[in-house]
A and B are shown apart, each in its own frame.
Chain A
Amino acid sequence: MKSLNKESLNKLYRFGIALTGSPQDSEDVLHTAIERFLRKNPKNINEKEAFIRTIMRNYWYDEIRKQKNHQAHVESLQVEQGDIDINKERLEDLIIDQHDFQKHWQALQAPQRELLYMHCVLEYSAQEIADEFNCARGTILSRIHRLKKQLQQLSKLASKGALS
């Protein structure tokens, strides 16, 4: 493709997997987003990947909304400022068994997988993620915190299971 190189397309494809949880859905979402991007033919776009990611996200959540499963996403956006504790272990440094991680990854909600992807793969800061999601930094910190707690709990449960 002239518009995007293979590396960019693969990155977007992996983002799609993080977003949708499945390679098949990711292909569909990527295909639709590329089509919309090409048809819009936006000028002066510096960050094509970020632009296409936004199209993918909007399309996917529209699809979820259509399927009336959007509640999980809405709930996940609820701010729990009181729980924020960013001084302890960082989410990306949390140690977890690879096998357990893959199991938990599938069980995460779409917004959680997307957040993890942006934080751990793209290495975006909370502010950068907030800018892309067009929400407050506190919201993102809250979501990161809850995700970390969830993964910690799952990891502990898995360890207990392995010991018993």
Chain B
Amino acid sequence: MRNTVKENLNTHLDEFELSTDQFASLDALEKSILSPVKTRIKNPILWSVAASLLVVSLFLTGILPKGQDQKELIYAIAQEVSYNHLKFKPLEVANNNLTSVTGYFKKLDFNPLASSQVAALSSALIGGRYCSIKGNIAAQLRMQDEKGAISTLFESRFNAEDFDFLPKLEEQQTPVKVHVDGQQVSLWVEKGLVMALVNPISK
């Protein structure tokens, strides 16, 4: 059948229509964008500040239960050490001898020690570097197992103001374990030191 270009084009395009599903999809899109969330905070930093202010205000008004408060603090430490572990900064001292590695940390106000919790791991020390936990100077001891998996032990001087809620091995308590960033973080107090062990979650 011979027609004008105009007729042909209109006939051809009239065959196409949005389906019910396609209309519904556009409708849902509109609703999601125009939903009345007027106080949307797009900046993640603002979210953090807002969340922190909320936690502080809840704490000051006594609404926040102590257990919840401790949980938050444990996660805050776990996140800090996990971040440092994953950052994988260069070692300041590379040696597989504990005495040689701990001998490097002359600025510390404590002596890094071997931990009973680490002895169970089949990892070997490969080195260390300075870091901090909640603003307290700390040592970071990096270890590697036979399969190449890296674990990091963080040690800092026990400061009751910052770490009193952590379990103490000397009081027959067991390390608290949390999962952060796909890592397992164990926290405890041993021999007057705060210790945090970050290792990959075993499959």
Residues of A at under 8 Å CB distance from B? 1-3, 6, 9-10, 13-14, 17-18, 23, 26-27, 30-31, 34-35, 38-39, 91-98, 101-102, 105, 116-117, 120-121, 151
Taking CB atoms, residues of chain A closer than 8 Å to B4 are 92-96
Contact for B5 among A13, A30, A31, A91, CB less than 8 A: A91
Residues of B at under 8 Å CB distance from A? 1-6, 8-14, 16-18, 22-23, 25-27, 29-30, 33-34
9 A-B contact pairs sorted by A residue (CB < 8 Å): A6-B18, A17-B13, A31-B26, A91-B5, A94-B5, A98-B8, A101-B9, A116-B9, A121-B6
CA of A105 to CA of B8, assembled, Å: 10
Q: Are B5 and A151 in contact (CB under 8 A)?
A: yes
Taking CB atoms, residues of chain A closer than 8 Å to B17 are 10, 13
Q: Are A101 and B8 in contact (CB under 8 A)?
A: yes
Is chain B's binding surface mostly helix, strand, loop or mixed?
Answer: helix
CA of A93 to CA of B8, assembled, Å: 10
CB distance from A144 to the nearest CB of B (A): 11
Q: Are B12 and A1 in contact (CB under 8 A)?
A: no
Taking CB atoms, residues of chain A closer than 8 Å to B33 are 35, 38-39
- Contacts A38-B33, A121-B10 given; does A96 touch B5 at CB 8 Å: yes
Q: Are B18 and A10 in contact (CB under 8 A)?
A: yes
Q: Are B26 and A9 in contact (CB under 8 A)?
A: yes
